[in-house]
Structure 1
Amino acid sequence: MNKKTFYIISGFILFAALSRLLPHAYNFTPLGAIVLFGAAYFKNKKWALIVPIIALWVSDLLLNNIMYSSYYEGFAWFTGGFLYIYGSIALIAVLGYYLMKKVSLARVVGGAVGASVIFFVVSNFGVWITSPLYPLSIEGLIACYTAAIPFFHNTLGGNLVYSGVLFGAYEWMKVQYPSLQPVESQV
């Protein structure tokens, strides 16, 4: 569709990604919501993946090099567990491609729950594979997932809250400004 709509949707995504710089509970972030939002409103699927990844990477750069700079030597281009975190983003995008073809409350809630589960499974698998804390055995994998359970509710809460804000605000804007329609053409 038009560039204005593309930039508004991209702006929503970037704004949500930058909200990670605000104080928040551990794992209470918009990661899954951002990807689902992109999948719902960018009809060109390449933008539905590219824009959220760039927005999240920019927020990672700011977090790693400003807020968490003491954990890195030099400039940190990528966060620890980058492959697993961004791998989960790609899987959430696939979920969003299929689930968010039509936006509804049930689909947004289902997507937020699904995104939370995907992130939990993939990112903690990455912790198990890369961390010396857990033996590379079934017992170690179970211990890793068990240790991560207390953080799951924040992931779920963040995805639900941010999905509500992103989807709710955009749907409200579409009612106020009918020219805002899903982006179908390449920009």
Structure 2
Amino acid sequence: MSESSLLKFYHYMFSRRLFTVLFMVLVAAASRLLPHPPNFTPILAVSLFAGAYIVPRKWAFLVPVVAMFLSDLVIGLHELLPLVYLCMMLSVFLGSHLGQKPKLTSTFGLSVLSSVFFFFVTNLAVWLTSGMYSLDWIGFISCFTLALPFFQNSIVGDLFFTGVLFGSMYVIEKTWLGQSEAVYVRANKG
């Protein structure tokens, strides 16, 4: 394959792959609009996924936050959204360290880490700013204890959506994107 054919091929594959990833991010973000258990959402999974698969990296940070912001406009805005988006950006950063061929254990480990960080940061903010809890150890423990059922849904949702996104991308790359590479190479041999 000549150098110009190789460049065309990489551009073609990059465009198809990027479109696929962006589509998956938008569909996952839109799934927040469907009925679901409290906190069973794709927020952190989408961010981890974007960090792993979207290049250039600035898009990896921008795309999931914009997608979630659009769904937040429908669902409703609240005062903790800047912290939610900050947690999303941390998940994008973590996802960027997974590389283009993420390993199962690393992916799920970072998903759990993202969930725990999100739980701690958002509940700390609720404790400090909501006025619902006293600003002492009793209030702190009450806030985090009452949040545990939401954390359970959050971590299950993060793991579920992480599995769906990364698993789907694995299958897509092995079939649809992988086949297009073989078809492109055959068509451009000469």
Alignment of structure 1 residues 62-141 onto 2, 5 Å: 62-64=74-76, 78-98=77-97, 100-101=98-99, 102-141=101-140
Residue number in structure 2 paired with 1:169: 168
1:153 aligns with 2:165: no
Contact 1:29/1:155, CA 8 A, preserved across alignment = yes
Out of 27, 44, 49, which is 2:39 matched to? 27
CA distance in 1 between partners of 2:141 and 2:96 (Å): 30
Alignment of 1:168-187 (within 5 A): 168-176=167-175, 177-178=177-178
Give the alignment partner of residue 58 of structure 1, picking from 70, 82, 105: 70
- Report how far residue 97 of structure 1 moved: 2.4
| Of 60, 79, 86, the match for 1:48 | 60
CA contact (8 A) 1:87 1:122 kept: no
Q: Corresponding residue for 1:15?
A: 27
CA positional deviation for 1:138? 3.6
- For residues 122 and 93 of structure 1, the distance between their equivalents in structure 2, rounded to whole angstroms, comes to 16
Partner of 2:141: 142
Matched, 1:5 2:4: no
Encode CA deviations 1:41-61: one digit per residue, 9 max, x unaligned: 123221111001011111111
Specify the structure having the higher radius of gyration (Cα).
2
Q: Distance in 2 between matches of 1:137 and 1:94?
A: 33
Aligned length: 166
**How far is the alpha carbon of 1:4 from its aligned partner?**
2.9
Give the CA deviation at 1:17. Answer: 0.5
Structure 1 CA distance for aligned equivalents of residues 120 and 93 of structure 2: 15
Q: Please give the per-residue CA displacement for 1:94-134, whole angstroms capped at 9, x wherever unaligned.
A: 22223x12401101211221111011011111211220111
Q: Distance in 2 between matches of 1:95 and 1:6?
A: 19
Where does structure 2 lack aligned partners over 5 or more consecutive residues?
Answer: 1-10, 182-190
CA deviation vs aligned residue, 1:12-61 (integer Å, no higher than 9, x gap):
00100110111111000011100010011123221111001011111111
Q: Which has the higher helix share?
A: 2
Aligned-residue identity in percent? 39
TM-score between the two structures when normalised by the length of structure 2 = 0.81
How far did residue 140 of structure 1 move? 2.2
Gaps of 5+ in 1: 65-77, 181-187
If asked which structure has higher relative contact order (CA below 8 Å, sep 6+), I would say 1
Aligned counterparts of 1:87 and 1:146: Cα–Cα separation in 2: 23
Give the partner amino acid of 1:32.
L
